[in-house]
Homo-oligomer: A and B are copies of this chain.
Amino acid sequence: MAKFDLFQFVPFRLNRLAAEVSAALSDEYQVRYGLDIPEWRVIATLGFRDDACSAQFISQCTRTHKSTISRAVTALLDRELIERVENEDDRRAFELRLSAKGTALYEELIPRLLSKERDILSCLTAQERKDFAAALGKIERSLDLVQTRHGQKAGAY
């Protein structure tokens, strides 16, 4: 049998790397702002989008279970970092958006995270970073992971 090398095995490496990178970032959003990962994902999605969106949307585009998002939304409402208004068109769903307080947090946090990301990727040249991002994109697309700006999976078109 061909010799198997766990440390060359891409799925394993991705898992380990993702865990390590998350840990490196958590100082910023966890220690400094008391956000856990699902909460940060909600904030990031709402801050990224100009218009309000539903919990369902956040769940889909971050690939996080809807119950996890639901709990994060509850916690963020309690902390008044986000606001929730009824949706006229569909009374099952709610429109979520950042509050002023949430926006302030978002705008303080983002530069810190981008700086961490730069640190982590600073071991690559500009070209290597570009190629790496492109490769990630290809794999994401082949796994049907990509979302458009309007929240539909690309494959759904």
Contacts and interface: CB of A to CB of B under 8 A. Distances in A.
Interface residues of A, number: 58
Interface string A34-59: 00000001001101100000000000
A117 B66 CA distance: 28
A138 interface: yes
Contact of A123 (B25, B111, B141): B141
A9 B61 CA distance: 13
Interface residues of A, dominant DSSP: helix
A4 B123 contact: no
A107 B135 CA distance: 30
Interface string A1-42: 110111111111111111111101100000000000000010
Given A10-B133, A11-B120, A143 B18 contact: no
A19 to B, nearest CB: 7
Interface of A: 1-2, 4-22, 24-25, 41, 44-45, 47-48, 61-63, 107, 110-111, 113-114, 116-117, 120-124, 128, 131-133, 135-136, 138-143, 145-147
